[in-house]
Every structure is written in C-alpha cells, then in structure tokens.
C-alpha cells in the first residue's frame, strides 16, 4: 500500500478547477458557434452530481456536450477489481466533452481531464483525441504539435509516452482500426502507473509524476490549452463545401465512434457501472449514425486515403520525419 | 466434471440443421419482401466460418441479416472463464438474425438458435424477442402465444421459465428499460444450467433438459416455427401509415438497440472476443440511428404509451390475466 502523497485539499482544488474549466470551454465554444448551451444539473443517488451542458442542432455543432461531474460514495464490489487502490470509498471529478460538428469537413473531438481517489491512492487521467472524417495532415500535425508544446513545458518524456498510449487506447481491435488520428492519453498519474485488471499495462512512468502538484499543474495547463488547436481547425474547415457523399461517410465513421464508446471506453463503462446519469454519459454518442453492411471506401477515393492516414498512426507532430 | 451425454454426431447434426434453417428462413423472408438476400461466405482464421445473408434497403426491410456460422478452435484464455466446461477447445454453430423494417409500425425482431461445445460439455441456447416501436398489444400477445405453443408441445414448464429469462436478459440497466416486449430466451440447456461468471444465474432447470436429444428436438421445432408469428405481424402492419414523427421515434429507440447489443449482448461480445467476422456480428446493428440528448416522449403521447407497455413486462401470452 502506497502512502498518499496528495495534499488533503487536492480533491477540492481539482473539482474547483474542473468547474471553472467547464465554464471556460463552454464560453469558448459559444463564441465559436454563436449558439447557447443548455444546462442540466443532476444529483447522483449514491453521492455527488454534475452539470451537463449540451448544444444541439446549432449552426456548427450537430451535438456538443461538455460535462462536469463530482461523484463519490461506495464502489460496487464488481467495479472494485478494475481500479487501483483499496477499499470501496471513491471520489471522482472531471470534465469530459465530445463535439460532433455537422460538417464532415470538421473533425469530431473528445477531451477529458479527471481526478480519481480510492482509499488512500489518487490519480489524474485524461487526454484528447481528434477524429477527422477527411484527414487533413496539416490539421493533424497542428493538433499534435499543440499538445506536444503543452507536454514539453512540463516534462520532455510526456508527449511521446502519452501519444503512444493514445494510439493504443483509442483502437478498435475488432475493426483493426484506430478511432482517429490520436492525440494524447494518460491515466493513473500519481499511483506509480499500476496496470489494472483487463487493461493494457501503461508505459513505465518517470519521477515527474510522483509529485501530484506537478501533475495537477500539467492537467490545468492541458485543460486550459487543449481546445485552442481544435478551434483553429474548425475555423479553417467550417466553410468548406460538402454533400451527400461526405455526409454518408461521416455517418458510417460515426458508427465506429459508437462502437468504441460502448464496447471499450473506460469512462463510459465506469460511468454506467457506477450508476451514473445515462444521458450525461451517453452525451458522447453522435446525433445520427449509419451502419451499412460491408461498407468500405472505393480504392483510390478520398475516403480510402483518409482511412489509410488514420490507420498509419504516424508521428503527426513530426518528431520522426519518417 | 460432467460426463457428456451428447451423441458424438450431435454437433454435425446441429450444424446441418442450422444450415437448412438459414435457407428456410431466408426463403420465407424473400417471399415476404420480394427482394433477394446477398450472400457472403467467410472463413474464420482460427477455424470454421459462415454464411452471412443480408438484404439492404428493400421495400419492407431497411436492413435484414440472417447469419449461419460454424466456428471452432481454441478459446482465448480471457474468454475461458465466461463459459461452462473445461479446456480451451470449443465448437459453436448457430443461426442468428435481426430484421430492421423500414416502417416504424413494423417491429424489429431478433432470433437465434445455437449449439456450443467446450471440452466434454455442450449446450443449446437461443430465443427470439420482439421490439416494437409502437406496441400493439394483440401483436405482442400473438407473438408470445406462438412461442408458448411451441414450448408447451415439449414441456409445460419451459415457456414461463424462458419468458422470464428473456425479460431479465433483454434489459438495459442503465436505462431501467426492457429492450422490447420480450419473447423467450434460454441458454446452457444440457449442462445443468450452471451460472457463468458475470451472468445472472439462470432459472433452475428440470429433468427435461438432461436429454440432449429432447432439447435438440425443441430447438428444431422452435427454429422452424419461430418466424411464423412475426410474418403475420408484418402482414398486418406493413401498409399502415407513418410519417416523420414515427420515424424519429423509431430512430431514437434503435439507439437503445445499439446500446444493448454493444454493451450487454452475450452473442455479440462472444463473437468479437473470439475474433469473429466483425461485419457479420454487427449485422444486427440498425441501418440508421439517432441519439438526442434528454429525449423523452411527451406524457399522454402514443410514444409514452408504447414505452409504458414495454416497461410493463406483462404476461402477454395471457396466462396471468392480471
């Protein structure tokens, strides 16, 4: 059992930051879109609650959800084996968002930052990843470089480690396809990066993450900066033309998003298994989706090129020119 | 370890019957629809293969898939704990179908019959359940009575037991909603109905199911008869009028179907975890789906009445007049 290195007020400071972060991000998105988010506040019967903010059928976003939650109480015994730490008492707080633009030229984006405490261990997790329907390499590069810049300000080893973690996490084994062009993903920062049952072992950690205050500083920096590159991509792509063909491809690719979130996503399954609010958890699902049996892009088409770019899992930030 | 009571040729006879059953069902559906199913035969790298037959965008069905498969080989170790029996050698054969009609007045139906062998134990499983968008009580009753008639010809205790099993199995805990008006569901017939890890314990079995030949006779009778009541419902409802409002409700309810299949369905997860052919397994997903945040039917609307009828899980066959 690890001695806790966390200052006792960290869970409160993390929750306060995440509340502020939700306001900041929603404000930024309202500026980009022109629409207004609807807010639902909710209580979790077992303890805690949250604020779900959703924008539906606006000019830019077909569906955009930004959720803040702070939940606590007792873990169900069947959940206990899948988390680090001991005992059933837990506290979890974070912000998560998924934005589904109407235009197939504008990528879907997901981002999440969270702080989880169980017994006397606690850790930060999170990340952000980009899912374009039509990959524009310059956009993928800009997205990755912005994340690399934030990571590098804190510790040089973070970006390559978190980029690889993202590539492995946002992957659909039954399709043998990544979800998108990736980004960064990290978890268990602060508990010695123990692997948990049923999860691929995380990459080995460094001394850096043994200091929870350093990790919190990184999470704050990431939270406040992670949407900037996405905003710039939206501004570049939102007025590009598209038609039925692009819409059809977007709807089919959204099917992969649903498959990932319902079969594999740790946050979704954690939420559903801890009696979270289903509508807030499943806010991440796209507004409209298609599944067409045996659908595959024609060789040589822009759709085939886009899928190949996604499957390449290349080093978009350009550290490795190969 | 149970001594196997199965005649060694049962797996071959079951597979031969399931092949024939697929032909019969597809022939019947082509008669009903007027369209023709496309067939893909496929091999599974680890052993076995199947025949997927699909009808897309026809007059009656937006998507209809009828799959036969016979797969065998070695279980992945992470699958082993979730199945009765010992060792890693397995053989599984069956027919499964999901039909998604275009009209919201015509219910979606699922049916499956299967025979699985692991080590020296083997069992039959299967069932069929009806998912109406607008519940017509007379149709639900006709569907349940037809299944009750088939069950009763074999053993009087089967129907109430399998009806209750279906109500518990096709249930979405995170929505606190059944998937539809139910039908019958059964599994592990022939291995003493052992509970397996992570599954709710099946209802206690009877002597009847200790004779694999009796069970096989029931499965054949069910397979050959289970689509008749559905065909009659289709004929009664296919020409009823509907519009945008009914379509919207259908697309939202289809979202629940996706949630069930990807989060909970044993067959789907078994297939994906045994390296099955993803397109054939996910053939069950509806062709077009919507998720709308916070959507709920207006009080007093036909949609609210339909959802209430689904949630009632009543004894549609009418054994219990309450």
Contact B278 A174 (CB under 8 A): yes
Provide the pLDDT for residue B80.
82
Of A263, A272, A293, nearest to B283 by CB-CB distance is A293
User: Who contacts B71 (Cβ-Cβ below 8 Å, separation ≥6)?
Assistant: B44, B46, B47, B48, B49, B50, B91, B92, B93, B274, B276
Most A CBs within 10 Å, among B291, B292, B295, B296, to test the A interface: B291
Contact B289 A290 (CB under 8 A): yes
Q: Which of B36, B78, B91, B110 is catalytic?
A: B110
Nearest partner of B311 among B216, B199, B178, B195, judged by Cα? B178
Enter the pTM of the model. 0.93
B20 touches chain A (CB under 8 A): no
Return the number of other C-beta atoms located less than 10 Å from residue A301's C-beta. Answer: 13
Q: CB pairs below 8 Å between A and B: how many?
A: 78
Q: Is the pLDDT of residue B212 over 70?
A: yes
Q: Is the pLDDT of residue B119 over 90?
A: no
B45 touches chain A (CB under 8 A): no
Q: Is the pLDDT of residue B193 over 50?
A: no
Of A279, A286, A294, nearest to B279 by CB-CB distance is A294
User: Catalytic amino acids of A?
Assistant: 110
Q: Is the pLDDT of residue A1 over 50?
A: no
Nearest partner of B265 among B84, B78, B127, B103, judged by Cα? B127
Q: Is the pLDDT of residue B200 over 60?
A: no
B36 touches chain A (CB under 8 A): no
How buried is A182 (Cβ within 10 angstroms: 0-12 exposed, 13-18 middle, 19+ buried)? buried
Identify the residue whose tokens are 């085939």.
Answer: A304
Nearest partner of B113 among B180, B187, B164, B53, judged by Cα? B187
Tokens of A159: 């970006």
**Helix or strand holding residue A268 (H, E):** helix A266-273
Q: What is the pLDDT of residues A199-208, one digit of tens each?
A: 555 566 678 8
Provide the pLDDT for residue A4.
52
- Three-state DSSP class for residue B275: coil
Q: Is the pLDDT of residue B196 over 70?
A: no
Provide the pLDDT for residue B201.
54
- Which parts of A113-172 fold into alpha helices (H)? 137-152, 158-169
Range of weakest confidence among A202-211, A285-294, B98-107, B256-265: A202-211
Contacts of A269 in chain B (CB under 8 A): 263
Most B CBs within 10 Å, among A293, A294, A295, to test the B interface: A293
Nearest partner of B181 among B226, B225, B137, B232, judged by Cα? B137
Contact B289 A289 (CB under 8 A): yes
Which band of pLDDT confidence, cut at 50, 70 and 90, is reported for residue B86? confident
Contact A54 B294 (CB under 8 A): yes
Provide the pLDDT for residue A97.
97
Q: What is the pLDDT of residues B158-176, one digit of tens each?
A: 999 999 999 999 999 999 9
How far apart are alpha carbons B162 and B170 in whole angstroms? 12
Q: Is the pLDDT of residue B195 over 50?
A: no
Nearest partner of B4 among B201, B202, B211, B220, judged by Cα? B211
CA distance A290 to chain B (A): 4
Range of weakest confidence among A81-85, A263-267, A308-312, B142-146: A81-85
Which band of pLDDT confidence, cut at 50, 70 and 90, is reported for residue A274? confident
Q: Is the pLDDT of residue B1 over 60?
A: no
Nearest partner of A90 among A126, A114, A67, judged by Cα? A114
Q: What is the pLDDT of residues B294-318, one digit of tens each?
A: 999 999 999 999 999 999 999 999 9
Which band of pLDDT confidence, cut at 50, 70 and 90, is reported for residue B199? low
How far apart are alpha carbons A111 and A265 in whole angstroms? 13
Contacts of A294 in chain B (CB under 8 A): 40, 54, 279
How far apart are alpha carbons B227 and B237 in whole angstroms? 15
Of A283, A285, A292, nearest to B56 by CB-CB distance is A292
Are residues A308 and A297 in contact, defined by beta-carbon separation less than 8 angstroms?
no
- Phi then psi for residue A253, to 5 deg, are -70, -30
Q: What is the pLDDT of residues A174-200, one digit of tens each?
A: 999 999 999 999 999 976 445 444 455
Q: Is the pLDDT of residue B31 over 50?
A: yes
Q: What is the pLDDT of residues A19-35, one digit of tens each?
A: 999 999 999 999 999 99
Q: What is the pLDDT of residues A215-232, one digit of tens each?
A: 999 999 999 999 999 999
Burial A98-118 (b: 16+ CB within 10 A, else e): bbbbbbbbbbbbbbbbbbbbb
Q: Active site includes B100? A: no
Using a pLDDT cut of 90, give the percent of chain A over it: 77
- Three-state DSSP class for residue A162: helix
Could you say which residues from 60 to 89 on chain B have a Cβ atom under 8 Å away from some Cβ of chain A?
A: 63, 65, 78
Provide the pLDDT for residue A76.
82
Q: Is the pLDDT of residue A322 over 60?
A: no
Could you say which residues from 209 to 268 on chain A have a Cβ atom under 8 Å away from some Cβ of chain B?
A: 251, 255, 258-259, 262-263
């Amino acid at each position: 059992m690890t001695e806790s290195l966390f200052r006792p007020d960290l869970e409160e400071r993390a929750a306060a930051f995440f509340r502020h972060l939700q306001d900041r991000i929603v404000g930024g998105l309202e500026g980009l879109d022109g629409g207004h988010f609807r807010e639902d506040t909710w209580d979790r019967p077992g303890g805690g609650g949250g604020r779900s903010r959703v924008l539906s059928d606006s000019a830019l976003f077909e569906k955009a959800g930004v959720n803040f939650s702070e939940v606590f109480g007792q873990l169900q015994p069947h959940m206990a084996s899948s988390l680090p730490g001991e005992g059933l008492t837990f506290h979890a707080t974070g912000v998560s968002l998924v934005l589904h633009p109407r235009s197939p030229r504008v990528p879907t984006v997901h981002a999440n930052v969270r702080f989880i405490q169980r017994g006397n261990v606690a850790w930060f997790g999170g990340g952000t990843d980009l899912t374009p329907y039509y990959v524009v390499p310059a956009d993928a590069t800009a997205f990755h470089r912005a994340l690399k810049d934030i990571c590098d300000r804190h510790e040089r080893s973070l970006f390559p480690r978190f980029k690889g973690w993202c590539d492995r996490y946002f992957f659909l084994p039954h399709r043998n396809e990544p979800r998108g062009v990736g980004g960064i993903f990290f978890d268990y920062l602060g508990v010695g990066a123990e692997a948990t049952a049923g999860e691929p072992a995380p990459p080995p950690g460094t001394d850096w993450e043994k200091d929870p205050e350093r990790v919190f500083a990184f999470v704050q920096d990431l939270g406040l900066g992670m949407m900037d590159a996405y905003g710039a991509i939206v501004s570049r792509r939102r007025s590009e033309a598209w038609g039925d063909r692009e819409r059809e491809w977007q709807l089919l690719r959204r099917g992969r998003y649903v498959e990932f979130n319902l079969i594999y996503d740790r946050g979704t399954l954690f939420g559903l298994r801890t009696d979270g609010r289903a509508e807030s958890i499943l806010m991440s699902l796209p507004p409209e989706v298609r599944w067409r049996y045996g659908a595959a892009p024609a060789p040589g088409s822009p759709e085939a090129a886009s899928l190949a770019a996604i499957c390449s899992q290349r080093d978009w930030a350009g550290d490795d020119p190969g």
